[in-house]
Amino acid sequence: MTFTVCVPLSAVAQVPVPDGYSEAMGWYRKAAEAGDPKAMFYLGLTLEQGLQGEAQPETALKWYRRSAALGYSLAEFKLGLLYQFGHAVERDAALARAWYEKAAGQGMPDAKFNLAYLLEVGEGGAADFGRAVRLYKEAARAGIAEAYLNLGNLFSRPSRENEQDMIEALKWLTLAQSKGLTEADTLAAQVRELLSPIEVRDAQVRARRWTEGLSD
């Protein structure tokens, strides 16, 4: 049987933008210059998006770096995004991974998800299937629905790092569908065709136990 392979997702999270840009701009700049890492981040965001005129990505980058240097997780995550996708900087997956590590270390779900993706595909360093799975699970527990889909994809295909496990794959794809991710529908249907009714029920039980917090 030929499988429809879903391309693993990477979170392009929407970093929050403050309301009232014109009034906020002056406050952000004053607070940023006074050393407030949150203000540094939002000033950078305002400058990057050109909310007060022409976009200034290079200046924004300086403020993101200053904020991240003070441990502000949104700035760390933002730098990860910039380096992963090559926006305002030269694309560098290793630096993206490093910044996601910092933000993930502070518990940021989107950073855990993106770091898991880089670990899964081996971008910016060695692949680490086991850690990718753990981080996807943590992201899923924190509400990142796409993590279910990526886990379903991981377990539905064999690789050097892991054995194919169609029951486990269907568990995660079922959870992805329960979150409204229609991207999981085709692969889930294909996986079900390869499983016996007992195995399908096993996958459903596993999914229910995960939802109830009784298993990982």
* Structure-block tokens of residue 177: 């569908």
pLDDT of residue 24: 66
Contact of 49 with 55, CB cutoff 8 Å? yes
| pLDDT band, residue 23 (cuts 50/70/90) | low
| pLDDT band, residue 49 (cuts 50/70/90) | confident
Asked if pLDDT for residue 18 goes beyond 70, the answer is no
pTM recorded for the entire structure: 0.86
For residue 134, the surrounding DSSP H or E stretch is helix 129-141
| pLDDT band, residue 19 (cuts 50/70/90) | low
pLDDT of residue 3: 38
pLDDT digits (tens, 9 = 90+) for 136-183: 999 999 999 999 999 999 999 887 667 789 999 999 999 999 999 999
pLDDT of residue 21: 58
Rounded to 5°, angle at Cα 136 from 96 and 77: 30
Q: List C-alpha distances in Å: 175 to 62, 109, 172, 184, 207.
A: 40, 18, 5, 9, 6
| pLDDT band, residue 1 (cuts 50/70/90) | very low
Asked if pLDDT for residue 14 goes beyond 70, the answer is no
Please tell me the distance from the alpha carbon of residue 99 to that of residue 68, in angstroms, as a whole number. 9
Q: Over the chain, what is the mean pLDDT?
A: 89
pLDDT of residue 15: 52
**Gyration radius of the chain's alpha carbons:** 20
| pLDDT band, residue 26 (cuts 50/70/90) | confident
pLDDT of residue 204: 96
User: Where do the structural domains in the chain lie, given as residue ranges?
Assistant: 145-216
* Structure-block tokens of residue 198: 């007992």
- Asked which of 11-15, 26-30, 88-92, 117-121 is least confident by mean pLDDT, the reply is 11-15
Handedness of CA 175, 178, 182, 186 (dihedral sign): positive
* Structure-block tokens of residue 169: 């794959």
Extended beta strands in the chain, E state: none
